[in-house]
Amino acid sequence: MAKKPTDAELAILNAIWARGRATVREIHDDLAPTQDVGHTTILKLMQIMTEKGLLERDSSVRPQVFRAARPQKQTQKALVRDLLDRAFSGSPGNLVLQALAMRESTPAELQEIRELLNRLEEKKS
């Protein structure tokens, strides 16, 4: 991963992943209802994110259009790997146990977890 996104950058990335690609105005419109942030702040953050390699900018059109430099899953994987190493001494089990203890999972999520565990056990056999 290029560089880790800050919380504000991650909010922008989430909005862009939801749209696929977006202008500064569209991201501002998406974030404004829940965050007190100005258009120029969003613009500056997106410029910084482009420099960091988190976003790619299409300057051939006006207004400029931005898209994520990497897929959402790839970025999430890198963030989890970093958290795993820094906070859980590299133990995926401790990370998963802590995550499951914090919030209630839906039946569908629990089923997905069971299926993943089954696949992992089959690989070891």
Query: What is the dotted CATH code of the domain comprising 7-68?
Result: 1.10.10.10
User: Does pLDDT of 1 surpass 60?
Assistant: no
SS3 of the chain: the string is: CCCCCCHHHHHHHHHHHHHCCECHHHHHHHHCCCCCCCHHHHHHHHHHHHHHCCEEEECCCCCCEEEECCCHHHHHHHHHHHHHHHHCCCCHHHHHHHHHHHCCCCHHHHHHHHHHHHHHHHHHC
Sequence spans of domains, the chain: 7-68, 92-125
Q: Could you tell me which residue, 61 or 27, shows the higher pLDDT? A: 27
| Residue 125: per-residue pLDDT | 81
Q: pLDDT tens, 47-89?
A: 999 999 999 999 898 999 999 999 999 999 999 999 999 999 9
Residue type, position 16, single letter: I
Q: pLDDT tens, 33-45?
A: 999 999 999 999 9
